[in-house]
């Protein structure tokens, strides 16, 4: 624990190379309880980072420490306090939900009585009570996501790594899972990799922007958004101007009312030749600014 008595996960100069290709370069960051969002395009290094944290992948150089101890030295002790949700992998189609969760609990070294109480609680939390005896092979994509979230939360882990946790969920389920993640993160370190920016905009304590294996920005969401203040505009346009505006600017959103079309654009310079107003940036604007 750190000086404030909080659990902490510390990554120091993590580098991962595959021959001449560098997937992660000198990644250094300290995590304390709360939700952290990893944002970046495909190939940015998010999956590599998560696999190194979970010890599924060894770094070329650098260290991962939990409460001051090297996680590679902790071995099983570290896996017991870790929950990992991959992207719809590791599911056994012939297993029922209950059997799958008992199997995952056994892998974590949980006793059957302890597992039973935890599984009952988690099935309710992820709203799958009616599907407990159904085979995973018959689950929808959204149901599989919720099953994977449940197994990640077995044994009350101190660190939870979630890879695209709301992929395939309808809006109601997405909100439910997002609220659940926010609720459990008060005493846990929760790291989420996602392409759904809205998943983390309101629940993330900090956001890390990853590009080509390096952190290009990190901090509280509103602080990061403030850095592009004055770079987001809402243009009032005609239908004939849409193609021209799309060629000139990064377009975040297009909306219309009975009389006008409004195009939200991200640009270092104010749009010339158009009627516009300056907008307050949000996390989606930030993503487009750095990664589009």
Q: What is the pTM of this model?
A: 0.90
Architecture of the structural domain at 9-225: 3-Layer(aba) Sandwich (3.40)
Is the pLDDT confidence value at 6 over 70? no
- In the chain, where are the structural domains located? 9-225, 227-291
pLDDT (tens digit, 9 = 90+) per residue, 238-287?
A: 988 999 999 999 999 999 988 889 999 999 999 999 999 999 999 999 99
Is the pLDDT confidence value at 164 over 60? yes
Is the pLDDT confidence value at 130 over 50? yes
Distance, CA of 34 to CA of 187 (rounded, Å)? 7
Is the pLDDT confidence value at 226 over 50? yes
pLDDT (tens digit, 9 = 90+) per residue, 89-120?
A: 668 999 999 999 999 999 888 999 999 999 99
Adjacency order of strands within the sheet including 61-66: 21-31, 9-18, 61-66, 69-70
Label each residue of the chain as H, E or C.
CCCCCCCCEEEEEEEEEECCEEEEEEEEEEECCEEEEEECCCCCCHHHHHHHHCCCCCCCEEEEEECCEEHHHHCHHHHHCEEEECCCCCCCCCCEHHHHHHHHHHHCCCCHHHHHHHHHHHHHHCCCHHHCCCEHHHCCHHHHHHHHHHHHCCCCCCEEEEECCCCCCCHHHHHHHHHHHHHHCCCCEEEEECCCCHHHHCCCCEEEEEECCEEEEEECHHHHHHCCCCCEEEEEECHHHHHHHHHHCEEEEEEECCCCEEEEEECCCCCCCCEEEECCCCHHHHHHHHHC
pLDDT (tens digit, 9 = 90+) per residue, 60-77?
A: 999 999 999 999 899 888
pLDDT (tens digit, 9 = 90+) per residue, 175-191?
A: 888 888 888 787 899 99
What is the band of 3 on the pLDDT scale with cuts at 50, 70, 90?
Answer: very low
Report the range of poorest mean pLDDT among 141-145, 151-155, 202-206. 141-145
Using DSSP bridges, classify how beta strands 250-256 and 232-237 pair: parallel, antiparallel or unpaired.
unpaired
């Amino acid at each position: 624990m750190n000086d404030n008595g909080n659990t902490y996960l510390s990554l120091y100069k993590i580098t991962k190379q595959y021959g001449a290709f560098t997937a992660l370069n000198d990644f250094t960051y300290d995590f304390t309880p709360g939700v952290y969002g990893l944002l970046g395009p495909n190939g940015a290094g998010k999956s590599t980072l998560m696999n190194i944290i979970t010890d599924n992948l060894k770094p070329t150089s650098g260290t991962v420490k939990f409460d001051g101890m090297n996680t590679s030295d902790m071995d099983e002790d570290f896996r017991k306090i870790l929950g990992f949700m991959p992207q719809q992998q590791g599911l056994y189609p012939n297993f029922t939900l209950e059997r799958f969760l008992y199997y995952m609990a056994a892998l974590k070294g949980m006793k059957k009585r302890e597992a039973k109480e935890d599984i009952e609680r988690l099935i309710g939390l992820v709203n799958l009570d009616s599907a407990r005896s159904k085979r995973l092979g018959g689950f929808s994509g959204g149901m599989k996501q919720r099953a994977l979230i449940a197994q990640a939360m077995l044994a009350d882990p101190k660190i939870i790594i979630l890879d695209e946790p709301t992929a395939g969920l309808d809006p109601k389920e997405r909100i439910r899972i997002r609220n659940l993640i926010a609720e459990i993160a008060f005493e846990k370190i929760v790291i989420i990799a996602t392409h759904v920016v809205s998943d983390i905009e309101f629940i993330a304590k900090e956001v890390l922007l990853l590009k080509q294996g390096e952190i290009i920005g990190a901090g509280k969401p509103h602080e990061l958004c403030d850095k592009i203040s004055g770079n987001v505009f809402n243009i009032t346009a005609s239908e004939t101007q849409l193609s021209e505006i799309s060629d000139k600017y990064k377009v975040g959103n297009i909306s219309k009312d009975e009389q006008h079309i409004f195009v939200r654009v991200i640009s270092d310079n104010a749009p010339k030749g158009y009627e516009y107003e300056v907008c307050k940036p949000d996390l989606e604007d930030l993503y487009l600014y750095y990664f589009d």
